[in-house]
Structure formats: structure tokens, C-alpha cells
Structure 1
Amino acid sequence: MTEPRRRRAATEEKVTRVLDAAEEIMLLEGYAAITSRNVAERIGMRAPLLHYYFPTIDDLFLALLRRRSERNVRRMKAAMAAPRPLEAWWDLVSDPRGTALFIEFLAAANHRPALKAEMGEVAREVRRIQMTVLDEILPEYDLDPIELPPALIASAMQGLALSVVSDEVAGYETEHKQARAAMSRLVARLERRRVRRTAPEAGS
């Protein structure tokens, strides 16, 4: 992936406004509502100027995804380095706004090969971060990495969050509140177990 040239401050401000507007449209109306005219009208910009920054809608979607992905990678690294990593991880992936955007990106990627390829790269990077840390910390939770391998835990954490939050956002009555509460209790119990198991080592 080639590095974009550094933009001037005024240009950065305009690009940020475009991306913010597109993200809000995606959240409120869905990815299909993102058009050059729709985004430009929302921020009072002429469509030709928007095309100067993003020649195609694919370019706009890719910029949106990259901005969101950079934030998510930073937040995932911070969560996995937190004192209570599983709890921080669950809080991150069960955030309604982030999950709602992810669902829209998935839907858009079905029709946009460039977006799909970019999402694959991001998914691999995030999973690599998760797996690296899980390999190290699973014994601290007294979890058998053979019975409960890191790949299973990572998939279960991400998958449950996606299921719960997508139903919440859509307004489906699928007992998602019960599932969210149960997962929060499980994560909290595991974190307490980790504290008990690692406390003697910390004091030695």
C-alpha cells in the first residue's frame, strides 16, 4: 500500500469533514446512501470539490475504512495491554457504533472488491494482535490452550459481540441484553481469577 502524500492543514480539515459526514450517513441511512451528492450536500461542499479529494466512491469507502481501522488497531493494542485485557477487549468490540459501522462495511464489501481486500488485511492484523497476546496470557486465566485455543476465544469474543450488537442496533428482540450481561459476568469472573492467580507472582 503506497503512503499518501502529506496534506495541508486546510485540506486535512476538508477531508475530515467529508469522512465524518460519510460515516454519519452510513450509520443513519446505510452504506448505499453514500453518494458524492449526498455527502457534499450534507457539509455544504460542491460535488466537484469532493471528487477532487475522492475521485470515486471506492476511494471514499477505502478512506473511511482506513481511518476507522487505524483507530481500531490502536484501541485493540491498548485493550490487549490493559490490566484486565479480556474486559477491555469485550468493551471495545461490543461498542454499538463501531459494530454498526463494521456491519455496513461488510455489506458494502460484498459489492466492492477493493474494500473487501482491505477489510481482509485489517482483519488479519487485528487477529494477529489478539492471538499474540492470548498465547501469552491464557495460562493466567487457568484456561487450557488446547481445549480453548486462542483462535476459538478470539472468534467467540468477536462473533458474540457482532451478534449481540447487530441485534441491538436493529431493534430485534433476541434476548441480546441477557447475552450481553452474561458475557460481561463471564469476563469479569475470568479477570478476577487471573488476579488471584497472578497476585502471588507480583508480590514475590
Structure 2
Amino acid sequence: MPEPRRRRAATEEKVTRVLNAAEEIMLLEGYAAVTSRNVAERIGLTSPLLHYYFPTIDDLFVALLRRRSERNVEWMAAALASPRPLQAWWDLASDPRGTALFIEFLAAANHRPTLKAQMGEVAREVRRMQMEVLDKILPEYDLDPHEFPPALLAATMQGLALGLVADETAGYETAHKQARAAMSRLVERLEQQRTRRL
């Protein structure tokens, strides 16, 4: 079976520029502002040339999600393998830029079935990874997996981070600073507890 053709360096550079521009537009103006015209104008391409690389906007969103999710899976694996896994996970999950982009992907996925399906695959892969690691390390934190199952802890960590960043980004005053500080204290306490046990 023949190998798929590799893109030339100039093509790769243009694709990277398109994806970078689309990501910036999503963060600054929201997913609805990601149009072929808007992205092309931002980087000095014509719309037909952009459509050569990404025939539809769905193709562009899926490529952007894949690029971001590949990085996120790598970062999550590194966080969970670090000496302070809960702390590294919390830092990653509560990163404002990454979470704000994820919120835009969620909003776009509500209107784009192809993107929604791709996001589901990524979510399942990341959650499986999180739960496998939690299953192994919960005893190190002196947490009973029956009382605090990995599914609960994974959903709590990700959900709280998502909610806090969403409120911060939107400028809502929902005591998110107090919640972030309290979660940071809890994670630090759990990490200290784990260090003493190891």
C-alpha cells in the first residue's frame, strides 16, 4: 500500500499559519468569527487557497482540534507522570488559554456534528488516561477509591477548572478567585500528604 504523500515544507508552513490564525480568532472573537474569509485575510491568503488546504470550515475546525488535542494528550500524560501529578494536572486543567479554547470548541461542536464526534473521541481518550492513573495513585494520597472513585475525581478536577476559567474569561464575578485558591490549597495539601507517605 503506498504511503500518503507528505506535504512540502511551504505547504506545512501555510497550514500552520492558517491553524494559528484560526486559533487566535477563536480566542479573541469566538468560534463564529472563524470564517474562510476572516482567516485568509488575517494571514494574507485568498479564500480559494485556504479552501485548497481546508475544503470546508468543518475540516479546519477538526484539524485545529486534532492539533490542540495531540498536544493536550501529551501534556496530560506528562502531568500525570510528574512527581506531583494532581498539582500538574490542576495547573494544566486551569490554564486560561487552553480552557478558553476548549470552551469555544464546545460551543462550535453544538452546531457541527463532525467536530462533536471528534471531541467525543478526544474526551474519552483523555478521561481513560486520567482514570487509569488515578486508579493507581489514589492510595498514595490516602484516598479511598470507593469513596472517591477515579471518575468523580477526574470530572471534579476538569469540571471545576472549566467552570472557573469560563467565569473568569466572561468577567463574571462568581467568587471564582476564592474557589481557585481553595482548590489550590486542597491540591497542595494532598501533594504534601502523598510526599509524606512515599
**Which letter does structure 1 place at the counterpart of 2:127?**
R
Residue in 2 aligned with 1:195? 195
**Which letter does structure 1 place at the counterpart of 2:106?**
L
* Cα-Cα RMSD: 1.0
How many residue pairs align between the two structures?
A: 196
Residue in 2 aligned with 1:39? 39
Residue in 2 aligned with 1:100? 100
Distance verdict in 2 for CA 1:135–1:105, change over 3 Å? same
Q: Does 1:88 align with 2:101?
A: no
1:8 Cα offset (Å): 1.2
Residue in 2 aligned with 1:130? 130
Structure 2 CA distance for aligned equivalents of residues 5 and 31 of structure 1? 31
1:172 Cα offset (Å): 0.4
Moved over 6 A (4+): none
1:6 Cα offset (Å): 2.3
Residue in 1 aligned with 2:57? 57
SS at match of 1:50: helix
Which ranges of structure 1 fall in alignment gaps of 5 or more residues?
199-204
Q: Aligned ranges for residues 150-161 of structure 1 at < 5 Å?
A: 150-161=150-161
Structure 1 CA distance for aligned equivalents of residues 139 and 103 of structure 2? 33
Residue in 2 aligned with 1:28? 28
Q: Given the two structures, how large is their TM-score scaled by the length of structure 2?
A: 0.97
Q: Aligned ranges for residues 146-185 of structure 1 at < 5 Å?
A: 146-185=146-185
Structure 2 CA distance for aligned equivalents of residues 29 and 77 of structure 1? 30
Structure 2 CA distance for aligned equivalents of residues 4 and 20 of structure 1? 24
Q: Given the two structures, how large is their TM-score scaled by the length of structure 1?
A: 0.95
Q: Does 1:67 align with 2:67?
A: yes
**Which letter does structure 2 place at the counterpart of 1:71?**
R
SS at match of 1:75: helix
Which ranges of structure 2 fall in alignment gaps of 5 or more residues?
none
Structure 2 CA distance for aligned equivalents of residues 148 and 34 of structure 1? 41
Structure 1 CA distance for aligned equivalents of residues 134 and 196 of structure 2? 18
**Which letter does structure 1 place at the counterpart of 2:119?**
M
Residue in 2 aligned with 1:119? 119
Distance verdict in 2 for CA 1:109–1:5, change over 3 Å? farther
